[in-house]
Chains A and B, each alone.
Chain A
Amino acid sequence: MNTELTGIVATFLLTLVIAIPLGKYLAKVFAGEKVWTDFLKPLETGIYKLSGINIKEQMNWKQQLKALLTINILWLFYGFFVLIFQDKLPFNPDGNPGMTPDLAFNTIISFVANCNLQHYSGESGVSYLTQQYVLMFLQFVSAATGIAAAVVLFKAFRDKTTTQLGNFWEFFVKAITRLLLPLSFVMALILTFNGTPASYEGKDQFISMQGDTVHVSRGPAAQMIAIKHLGTNGGGYFGVNSAHPFENPSYFTNMVELIAQVIIPIAMVIAFGYFIRRKKLAWTIFGVMTIGLFMLLIPMLSSELGGNPALAKMGISQSTGAMEGKEVRFGPAASAYWSTVTTIISTGSVNSMHDSTMPMSGTWQLLGMMINSFYGGCGVGLLNYFIYLIVAVFISGLMVGRTPEFLGHKVEAREIKIAAIITLLSPFLILAGTAIASYIFTSHGDAAWAVQPKNWLNNPGFHGFSEMLYEMTSSNANNGSGFEGLGDNNMFWNLSTGIVIFLGRFLPIIGPVAIAGLLGAKKFIPESAGTLKTDTKTFALMTFAVIIVLNALSYFPALALGPLAEYFTMLK
């Protein structure tokens, strides 16, 4: 096996070695059992005291959501004003300008929603104050929001019948103090000692060996890159994200960043099983998700390692795979692995430019984001998967003619309605959004926006359509990566993707938490011979089938117009 493939095998195995124990640890942390990090308790007590929080106060699911939404809305206002006035605020050594209102609207929603779609470039678009006090801050708290919401769902299924789902603030604070902050600290130091800048010095300047004057953007990047991966945020310090040699200096740091973004999503699945004392269920879910990962990864590897057939026709050997938009220190295999992981997990950081990947790779990237629950983002991946589970329970129940049940609670009309709305939301936002964008591109090309619609696309033909489809899909999935050729910093894209991100974030949090809250409050029915078991291989297969069928039906036509059409054109 060549060293590029051994590299990704080692990365995946190391991920599991860290993620599985981490999951068991998290189950204990959120259940309030004894763990070795209990020495941090005084810090947490201090935070609760200063914030006027009493963690003994129990909340039902509606109160949980109220607390969650209140603090998220507060962050929206806080960040919006800092972004607009950043040129007048301190810590702006490079003298970068304030954001336009539409760009600030997009950016702040994007970061509050853990999406991190960036329509600005890190070097020239934000100040050091914004980078740290808004963007990096939100990378911590948005990840903690997702994790806390998932823990609320755990709580609903731990006891037989309950409306008391614990205290939201406690879950939220613990997600930071026991998980995100310590891991970020360690990872930021690893990055710093491997070359990533961490100091507050401003731009530097030097004369190159050939006599050119070169300006170099720097700044406290390591701190942000650590949490951007651990929190599945993905918003980079520099414009090109983790393809930038400062953000990702070597193959080693590339492995570290790849591992960091996957461990918490996997750990949350394991934690779910241990928390509700149904370990087998967690392993079944983990199994389905992992098979999903490989089904997207293997064809992606094959198309990227195979190289660009158009260049092969020109007589350039493609033995080293496709290299446009990729870095030599990572190579095509680690770049393909990254782009699979970052799209299924909603991180959205990149170490190669997705716009320049092969057409079939684009298909797998899009599918990963459309499904959005093969591991999925911090906490929210499991919430998305939960919706698929409920749909699978309902369909299986219909097939065998029994009342659908999930973990001892009857699934009835109200829950199914919520699940159906959430399931339909994604295709609606993605397809309607892309359709409106395409209409404006073709019929109103001269609209007087910062980037005129006719100049939006960096590539002609089918690939141009894929750029628009990708932008909407990435927004809805709260992923944040892009086909970056798209001219996206203008009124239309800033507002439309801002709205899509907002709905694509909060409705899929509210829905599953509501279903869990409703189910948890229902009478517990003990398991009998007639119970549909949800931790069997058969049911796992059923869930997998539901995921594939729902997504294929929703998205195949759009995929056929974009990447698939490009692929078949290139075959000619």
Chain B
Amino acid sequence: MKKYIIQSIRLTLVLLVLLCVVYPITVAFIGKMSKGNGGGEKITKNGKTVGYALLGQSFTKPEYFWGRPSAVAYNAAGSGGSNKGPSNPDYLKEVQSRIDTLLKYNPGIKKSDIPADMVTASGSGLDPNISEQGARIQIQRVAKARNIDEKKVKELIAMNTLKPFMSLFGPSSVNVLKLNLALDEL
């Protein structure tokens, strides 16, 4: 028994060095060569960081495309979902008010045009994407607020739509931050 205790202590110390020093530091070192140097890829505008490519952020102004509802108000230091069950009455009220908001600010759309992702909170609260339909219902509002042609906005959406992986696997999506950045650069 005593033998096992001593072996356990020594083995644990050796493995701590291998698994917690050698392994992660080697990965971090090689990771320096990745985009964003292993610290997350940043997006800059006029030399200033305005966000991370992978993290959604809050957009509420009419001239920007809006992202999905977030249970944590896009807090990138405290991710979280709503964890609301599908039949929770409070939750259904919340969804109803999101529908009303969308209908109010996006004239010309019908309730049946609204895709589910625009009225439901994402899992992380940081979802950077919306569906293509989610972008489409906002075209009229954005074009009007910016006083530009709707066709131009449609082109930008098409340019910022991510096709399914290898065009074969998974859904397509629109990155809200990149789309809004492209709008500002017009």
Binding site for B on A (CB under 8 A): 3-4, 6-7, 10-11, 47, 50-53, 66-67, 70-71, 74-75, 78, 121, 123-124, 132-133, 136-137, 140-141, 169, 173, 176, 181, 184-185, 188-189, 192-193, 195, 197-201, 203-204, 206-210, 212, 214-218, 220, 222-223, 238-240, 243-246, 249-252, 254-255, 307-308, 310-311, 314-331, 334, 350-353, 355-359, 458-461, 463, 466, 483-485, 566, 569-570
* Interchain CB contact (< 8 A) of A317 among B116, B171, B181: B116
* Interchain CB contact (< 8 A) of A71 among B12, B91, B122: B12
Ranked nearest first, the 10 interchain pairs of A and B with the lowest CB-CB distance are A485-B83, A243-B123, A7-B169, A463-B85, A251-B170, A198-B31, A331-B171, A353-B81, A459-B85, A71-B8
Contact (Cβ within 8 A) A240 B99: no
Contact (Cβ within 8 A) B20 A136: yes
For residue B15, give the distance in angstroms from its CB to the closest CB of chain A.
7
Contact (Cβ within 8 A) B39 A218: yes
Contact (Cβ within 8 A) B57 A327: no
List, sorted by A's number, 18 A–B pairs whose CB atoms are closer than 8 Å. Answer: A7-B170, A124-B77, A136-B20, A137-B19, A181-B19, A199-B38, A207-B49, A217-B76, A244-B79, A316-B112, A316-B116, A320-B133, A323-B120, A325-B83, A351-B123, A355-B84, A485-B85, A570-B86
Q: Please judge, given known A-B contacts A66-B4, A356-B83, whether A244 and B169 are in contact too, CB under 8 Å.
A: no
For residue A142, give the distance in angstroms from its CB to the closest CB of chain B.
12
Chain B residues, Cβ within 8 Å of A218: 39-40
For residue A253, give the distance in angstroms from its CB to the closest CB of chain B.
10
**Interface residues contributed by chain B, number (CB under 8 Å):** 107
A-contacting residues, B90-149, CB 8 Å: 91-92, 95-96, 99, 111-117, 119-131, 133-134
Chain B residues, Cβ within 8 Å of A243: 79, 81, 122-124
For residue A194, give the distance in angstroms from its CB to the closest CB of chain B.
8
* Residue ID in chain B nearest A11 by CB atoms: B169
Contact (Cβ within 8 A) A209 B82: no
* Residue ID in chain A nearest B183 by CB atoms: A209
Extra contacts, 18 of them, besides A121-B78, A192-B27, A325-B81 (Cβ < 8 A), are: A3-B172, A6-B169, A47-B15, A71-B4, A121-B80, A123-B77, A124-B77, A176-B18, A210-B64, A220-B24, A223-B28, A243-B81, A246-B40, A308-B116, A311-B95, A315-B111, A316-B119, A485-B84
Contact (Cβ within 8 A) A356 B20: no
A314 to B87, CA, bound (A): 12
Contact (Cβ within 8 A) B27 A198: yes
Q: Mark B147-164, 1 if CB is under 8 A from A, else 0.
A: 000000000000000101
Contact (Cβ within 8 A) A245 B116: no
* Interchain CB contact (< 8 A) of B39 among A70, A197, A254: A197
* Interchain CB contact (< 8 A) of B171 among A4, A214, A240: A4
Chain B residues, Cβ within 8 Å of A181: 18-19, 23
Contact (Cβ within 8 A) A334 B50: no
Contact (Cβ within 8 A) A321 B38: no
Chain A residues, Cβ within 8 Å of B26: 185
A53 to B142, CA, bound (A): 69
For residue B37, give the distance in angstroms from its CB to the closest CB of chain A.
7
Whether B89 sits at the interface, judged by CB under 8 Å, is yes
A331 to B177, CA, bound (A): 19
* Interchain CB contact (< 8 A) of A206 among B51, B54, B80: B51
Among the interface residues B19, B95, B126, which one has the most CB atoms of the partner chain A within 10 A? Answer: B19
* Interchain CB contact (< 8 A) of A359 among B10, B86, B89, B111: B86
Whether B5 sits at the interface, judged by CB under 8 Å, is yes
* Residue ID in chain A nearest B15 by CB atoms: A141
Contact (Cβ within 8 A) B170 A331: yes
* Interchain CB contact (< 8 A) of A47 among B14, B49, B77: B14
Q: Please judge, given known A-B contacts A53-B7, A208-B57, A325-B122, whether A3 and B28 are in contact too, CB under 8 Å.
A: no
Chain B residues, Cβ within 8 Å of A245: 54-56, 124, 126-128
For residue B151, give the distance in angstroms from its CB to the closest CB of chain A.
24
Chain A residues, Cβ within 8 Å of B85: 355-356, 458-459, 463, 466, 485, 566
Whether B186 sits at the interface, judged by CB under 8 Å, is no
A218 to B100, CA, bound (A): 36
Contact (Cβ within 8 A) A323 B116: yes
* Interchain CB contact (< 8 A) of B15 among A52, A137, A334: A137
A330 to B129, CA, bound (A): 10
Q: Mark B36-62, 1 if CB is under 8 A from A, else 0.
A: 111111100100111111111111110
A314 to B116, CA, bound (A): 11
* Residue ID in chain B nearest A8 by CB atoms: B169
Chain A residues, Cβ within 8 Å of B36: 195, 197
* Interchain CB contact (< 8 A) of A307 among B14, B19, B116, B177: B116
Among the interface residues A243, A316, A466, A566, which one has the most CB atoms of the partner chain B within 10 A? Answer: A316
Contact (Cβ within 8 A) A328 B86: no
Contact (Cβ within 8 A) A185 B7: no
Contact (Cβ within 8 A) B27 A189: yes
Contact (Cβ within 8 A) B34 A314: no
Q: Please judge, given known A-B contacts A70-B5, A198-B27, A314-B96, whether A322 and B82 are in contact too, CB under 8 Å.
A: no
For residue B67, give the distance in angstroms from its CB to the closest CB of chain A.
10
Contact (Cβ within 8 A) B117 A239: no
Chain A residues, Cβ within 8 Å of B169: 3, 6-7, 10-11, 251, 255
A197 to B55, CA, bound (A): 12
A132 to B18, CA, bound (A): 12
Chain A residues, Cβ within 8 Å of B76: 214-217
* Interchain CB contact (< 8 A) of A352 among B12, B57, B123: B123
For residue B179, give the distance in angstroms from its CB to the closest CB of chain A.
11
Chain A residues, Cβ within 8 Å of B50: 206-209
A136 to B37, CA, bound (A): 22
A239 to B48, CA, bound (A): 28
A212 to B73, CA, bound (A): 11
Contact (Cβ within 8 A) B38 A198: yes
Contact (Cβ within 8 A) B170 A329: yes
Chain A residues, Cβ within 8 Å of B75: 214-215
Chain B residues, Cβ within 8 Å of A123: 77-79
For residue A240, give the distance in angstroms from its CB to the closest CB of chain B.
4
Q: Please judge, given known A-B contacts A329-B129, A485-B83, whether A223 and B27 are in contact too, CB under 8 Å.
A: yes
* Residue ID in chain B nearest A177 by CB atoms: B18
A460 to B90, CA, bound (A): 9
A201 to B123, CA, bound (A): 25
For residue B131, give the distance in angstroms from its CB to the closest CB of chain A.
6
For residue B31, give the distance in angstroms from its CB to the closest CB of chain A.
4
Contact (Cβ within 8 A) A140 B19: yes
* Interchain CB contact (< 8 A) of A50 among B14, B115, B184: B14
* Residue ID in chain A nearest B14 by CB atoms: A50
* Residue ID in chain A nearest B59 by CB atoms: A210
Contact (Cβ within 8 A) B122 A4: no
